[in-house]
Amino acid sequence: MIKNFEKYLFQDDFNDISSILVEETNVNLKKYLNSEILSKVDVSTIIKLIHLNGSDPFIKQEDICKVLSITKEDLLFYNSILKKSSELQNLLTTIGLASKFLKNTILPVIQSGSLDAFNKKQNYFPFKVGLFVGISCMFECTFCGRNYDAKYNRSTLDAGIEMYKKLIEEAPDNDPHRFYISGGLEPLTNPKIGEIINSLSVKKFKTSMYTNAYMLTEKLLNKNKEIFDLDYLRISLYGTNHEEYLQTTKHKNGYQQVFSNIPKYLKLKKDRGSKTQFGLNYIVLKKYTEKLEILIDKIIEINKEAGFEKNDIDFLTLREDFSVDSEKYNDQEKINLSKLLKKVDKQIKNSSFLKSLHIDYGFALDGLKKGYTKKSLADSFVTEEEFHKNFGVPHASVAVDLYGDVYMLREAAFLDRPGSKRYIIGNLIKDGSMQNIIENYNNNKFKVETKKDDIGYLDAWDHVVIKLANQDDSDRKFGIPFELGPISDKVKKVEKLSHKIHYSE
Ligand code: SF4
């Protein structure tokens, strides 16, 4: 690794290119280039390119030419130079603000071939498929897009379960992490949840589930022992005390029930020798940033209550509130949060009740943790113009509800969410298979008139994939597609996909 890059290049105050960086880059390039080619390279352009690409994962090649006042031919030349050095590749993909986007979504989507298939209108079983199996939900979270009165008709349960089983049968087996069980509504409200977990396990898919844990009681676990066979279980937390839970979920027993279920589940899991990787998810809301420290104390408490002598929670995913209407952190709040994240990081290393807890900071908070306080996920929201050009990439992700409806946008897949049915690209029961649905989509049989407010149907993943599709379109038109861009196309050559959904390491 070129050591001074991390220190200087991605910091907020980057403007002048220090002589140290020039020297380090020169030394590195000498390893890969002969003197004739090296003499044609302006090292400061290389450094600026790493800065631009590493700071903004969605920057278009045409815009890079404009910012650096260089021609397309120059950029093609410099991209080819960047590709030659493994250290420079490492800088591009693992250090800057873009690194989480690249690791969590961009590179996995590119590696999967789903974006290529989308462009070429090829048949492709979606890279990620959400199984939104819940029948109802006991919470009424303030930020949730669902229709609080909506419930699936119980009589459709059996047909829904058969439909999911058929879908799992149909799926190719080249990606063990293709499916995840989530909502929609609360998955544990589905009394046949165990059957779905079992069908995934039989086909050797990694099984993962998100739940609010309200129903994760001993009684339910005894009835649905398959929950202990999950590979990953992630609980969405909506506060750290009774008042916050009540305010967010509107449920008066929410806090008490969830926080008594978690240690009991952990104890049972240990007693049964279950290998499920267990984690918590917490959205760091603007008004509650300081609560993060309380959450960390809660994790210590949970471990103690479960009777453990050390931490037995595998991961904590921290997320910025990405909902379009949410209040965003101001500059001072970002600085404070950045300090807090660093403090939490230290705490984890020093407490035996926290050690081994992996924290995934997600797209936005990862940058803050690294000290980059100028940008946030909000800077990567899909714009109205981008949404009208590209309103989704079903080859990369769909969500399937209990009726078999296949939604191309994840937050549209809430039953009876006003207007969201417009984003159903097919129905697995009527259309027969996912292959038929994607084929119909490729043959332009799906039409939708997009509206500005529809952007609310996108979750963080959808935002990233749509930005990526727009970037890809622009770069192709400009004549610098991904293959000729700055990142080595070696990333495309993976034999087995292994992108995890719940958290990244
Ligand atoms: S966010 Fe989840 S738990 Fe909250 S109301 Fe919506 S579906 Fe239920």
Picking from 17, 105, 1, 13, the residue whose alpha carbon sits closest to that of residue 57 is 105
> Tens-digit pLDDT profile for the chain (505 aa)?
566 776 666 665 566 677 888 888 999 999 999 999 999 999 999 998 988 898 888 999 999 999 999 999 999 999 999 999 998 988 888 877 778 788 888 889 999 999 999 999 999 999 999 999 999 999 999 888 788 888 888 888 999 999 999 999 999 998 999 999 998 899 999 999 999 999 999 999 999 999 999 999 999 999 999 999 999 999 999 999 999 999 999 999 999 999 999 999 999 999 999 999 999 999 887 766 778 899 999 999 999 999 999 999 999 999 877 665 666 777 788 888 888 888 888 889 889 999 999 998 877 787 777 777 766 656 778 999 999 999 999 999 999 999 999 999 999 999 889 999 999 999 999 999 999 999 999 999 899 999 999 999 998 889 999 999 999 999 999 999 999 999 987 776 666 666 666 555 5
pLDDT score, position 229: 97
CA-nearest residue for atom 1, ligand 1, is 144
Residue 139 CB less than 6 A away from ligand 1: yes
pLDDT score, position 113: 92
Q: Which atom of ligand 1 is nearest to the CA of 145?
A: 6
**Residue whose structure tokens are 């303030």:** 142
CA distance 341 to 420: 36
- For residue 144, report the distance from its CA to the centre of ligand 1, in Å: 6
Residue 212 CB less than 6 A away from ligand 1: yes
Picking from 379, 384, 491, 462, the residue whose alpha carbon sits closest to that of residue 58 is 379
CA distance 2 to 17: 15
DSSP track, 369-383: HTT--S--GGGGPPP
pLDDT score, position 454: 95
Contact 229, 275 (CB under 8 A): no
- For residue 428, report the distance from its CA to the centre of ligand 1, in Å: 25
CA distance 22 to 46: 9
> Encoding tokens for residue 182?
């989530």
Q: How many other β-carbons are positioned within 10 Å of the β-carbon of residue 29?
A: 20
The burial class, CB within 10 Å (0-12 / 13-18 / 19+), for 118 is buried
> Encoding tokens for residue 380?
């990567």
Largest CA distance in the chain: 74
Site to substitute for ligand 1 among 143, 214, 247, 249, most atoms within 8 A of C-beta: 249
Residue 176 CB less than 6 A away from ligand 1: no
Site to substitute for ligand 1 among 137, 181, 236, 250, most atoms within 8 A of C-beta: 137
If you ran DSSP here, which 8-state letter would residue 490 be given? G
CA distance 362 to 322: 11
- For residue 139, report the distance from its CA to the centre of ligand 1, in Å: 6
Q: Is 211 left (phi over 0), alpha (psi -120 to 50) or beta?
A: beta
In order of their start, the domains of the chain are: 3-96 (no CATH), 124-385 (3.20.20)
CA distance 361 to 338: 11
CA distance 412 to 462: 11
pLDDT score, position 433: 98
pLDDT score, position 327: 67
CA distance 145 to 411: 7
**Residue whose structure tokens are 């087996």:** 173
Residue 251 CB less than 6 A away from ligand 1: no
What is the chain's length? 505
> Encoding tokens for residue 158?
């059996």
Convert 430-443 to b/e letters by CB count within 10 Å (16 or more is b). ebeebeebbbebbe
Q: Report cis status (omega within 30 of 0) of the bond before 184.
A: yes
Q: Which atom of ligand 1 is nearest to the CA of 184?
A: 7
- For residue 346, report the distance from its CA to the centre of ligand 1, in Å: 32
- For residue 185, report the distance from its CA to the centre of ligand 1, in Å: 6
